[in-house]
Amino acid sequence: MATASGARPTIGVLALQGAVREHVAMLERAGAHAVPVRREAELSEVDGLVLPGGESTTMSRLLESFELLEPLRARIADGMPAFGSCAGLILLARQALDGRPDQQQLGGLDVVVRRNAFGRQVDSFEVDLDFAGVGGGPVHAVFIRAPWVEKAGAGVEVLATVPAALVPGDSMPEDPAVGEPEARIVAVRQGSVLATAFHPEITGDERVHRLFVELVREA
Ligand SMILES: NC(=O)CC[C@H](N)C(=O)O
């Protein structure tokens, strides 16, 4: 279902929970035709899929009850481009630390994420980040009970990190395994799978969505 370069690809937004409307609006601004996806038949029509923020355990349960888990795993394994933000990053990860036992992984990214990593002490924070592949200056990143990427495999390109000095000082003081604040990975790409720990859909800046639309065009 490859879309010719310059064409307007059809990109789905998984619409079980979370910031669906915001992603639809940003994808449209970034040059895609955006549609909500709740059923397998809708999934089969899209050239790429956004997995929005929300609550990853709930979304994983909803994927099962809507009978989307296996079809979505199959499409991702088959190379469908996907973009996960926050809870979407958690779902795409190979493994989620601090997940519930019934949390399902979609497995498009060879990363280990830590859920609510920044959010133990601060529910949200905002920073300006350099973002590889996004021109035009730093991206304003809004983190809401956000995960970070704790381990990234060799095939994973790190696109953005929060520098140690900007990591909220008291994040996870109670976990000795985590230690002193250090730079944290918050945006990655592996092939045509893109993910951010933050929420580019709510800042009015569609550059990250443009990057994803390009990945879909190239796929
Ligand atoms: N804004 C978000 O998507 C938060 C993610 C949520 N803390 C989770 O673990 O799923």
**127: which residues sit within 8 A by CB, 6+ positions away?**
140, 141, 143, 162, 166
Q: Which residue has the tokens 């730093």?
A: 138
Query: How large is the ipTM?
Result: 0.95
- Residue type (1 letter), 185: I
**Per-residue pLDDT at 21 exceeds 60:** yes
> Would you state the structure tokens that stand for residue 200, as one six-digit string?
């580019």
**Per-residue pLDDT at 96 exceeds 70:** yes
Helical residues (DSSP H) of 78-206, grouped into ranges: 87-92
The DSSP code for 67 is T
- The β-bridge partners of 140 are 128
Q: What is the largest CA-CA distance in the chain?
A: 51
Instruction: State the pTM of this model.
Output: 0.92
**Mean pLDDT for the stretch of residues 45-51:** 98
Is 199 one of the annotated active-site residues of the chain?
A: yes
Cα of 146 vs centre of ligand 1, distance in Å, is 6
Q: Say how many residues make up the chain.
A: 219
144 lines ligand 1 (CB under 6 A): yes
Determine the residue of 57, 89, 90 to mutate for testing ligand 1's pocket, defined as the one with the most ligand atoms within 8 A of the Cβ atom. 90
Percent with pLDDT over 70 in the chain: 89
**192: which residues sit within 8 A by CB, 6+ positions away?**
48, 79, 80, 81, 82, 215, 216, 218, 219
List 86, 150, 206, 209, catalytic entry: 86
User: Could you give the CA distance from residue 193 to residue 92 in angstroms, rounded to a whole number?
Assistant: 9
The DSSP code for 180 is S
88 is in an annotated binding site: no
**Mean pLDDT for the stretch of residues 139-164:** 96
pLDDT score at 87: 96
Instruction: Name the helix (H) or strand (E) containing 83.
Output: strand 82-85
**Per-residue pLDDT at 103 exceeds 90:** no
The larger pLDDT score, comparing residue 196 to residue 7, is at 196
**Per-residue pLDDT at 3 exceeds 60:** no
Per-residue b or e along 19-55, where b marks 16 or more CB atoms closer than 10 Å to that residue's CB = bbebbbbbbeebbbebbebeeeebbeebbbbbbbbbb
Inter-CA distances, 199 with 20, 124, 154, 217, Å: 12, 11, 25, 22
pLDDT score at 4: 54
The pLDDT tens digits of the residues spanning 55-68 come to: 999 999 999 999 99
Task: Report the nearest atom of ligand 1 relative to the CA of 144.
Answer: 1
pLDDT score at 16: 97
Helical residues (DSSP H) of 35-172, grouped into ranges: 40-43, 56-65, 69-77, 87-92
User: Could you give the CA distance from residue 56 to residue 162 in angstroms, rounded to a whole number?
Assistant: 22
